[in-house]
Amino acid sequence: MPHITKKYNFIAEFFDIDSMGVMWHGNYVRYMEAARCRFLDEVGFSYLKMKEAGFALPVVKLDCKYIAPIEFNKQFCIEVELLEFECFFRLGYRFVNMNGARLCQAHTSQVAILLESKETCLYLPSEFRESLSAFINHAK
């Protein structure tokens, strides 16, 4: 699979910061979700389109490695990398600061669930996989 990454910038808000003066580790998951939604918008297959297509994409696995803290009002970038989209929709997230230094490395895995039957799909819906393939080809 060709190497596809997209970058999204964010700012650490006051309510993200814990009593140690750094972003609380649980709040990184919010920014991963925000970056993932921007990515899916670029692909042309947002959660809203998935709903219309009759499926949802719940997160079934998550891992994060925290490398360096993020402070209040500091800008940071999340580089989203598409890792897999056959059975699982799998993304990598590389948080870097404005000098390119790594702050956090994370991954999510999502599966498709049919909204009507609540069944888990063995493969991601073909419509979604085709959109991702077209996105990759276009990005080349």
Query: Using CB under 8 A, which of 4, 6, 30, 136 touches a copy of itself?
Result: 30
CA 125 to chain centre: 18
The amino acid at 50: M
Q: Is 117 an interacting residue with respect to a copy of itself (CB under 8 A)? A: no
Query: Using CB under 8 A, which of 29, 53, 87, 136 touches a copy of itself?
Result: 29
- Residue length of the chain: 140
Contact indicator for 64, 24 with CB cutoff of 8 Å: no
Query: Using CB under 8 A, which of 53, 59, 83, 87 touches a copy of itself?
Result: 59
Whole-number Å distance between alpha carbons of 96 and 116: 40
Q: Is 119 an interacting residue with respect to a copy of itself (CB under 8 A)? A: no
Least separation in angstroms between CB 55 and a copy of itself: 11
Beta carbon nearer to a copy of itself, 41 or 133 = 41
Letters for 74-113 (x = contact with a copy of itself by CB under 8 A, - = none) are ----------------------------------------
What is the residue-wise DSSP string for 61-83? EEEEEE-S---TT-EEEEEEEEE
Contact indicator for 28, 104 with CB cutoff of 8 Å: yes
Place of tokens 């389109």: 49
Residues making contact with a copy of itself (CB under 8 A): 13-15, 17-22, 24-26, 29-30, 33-34, 37, 41, 46-48, 56, 58-66, 69, 72-73
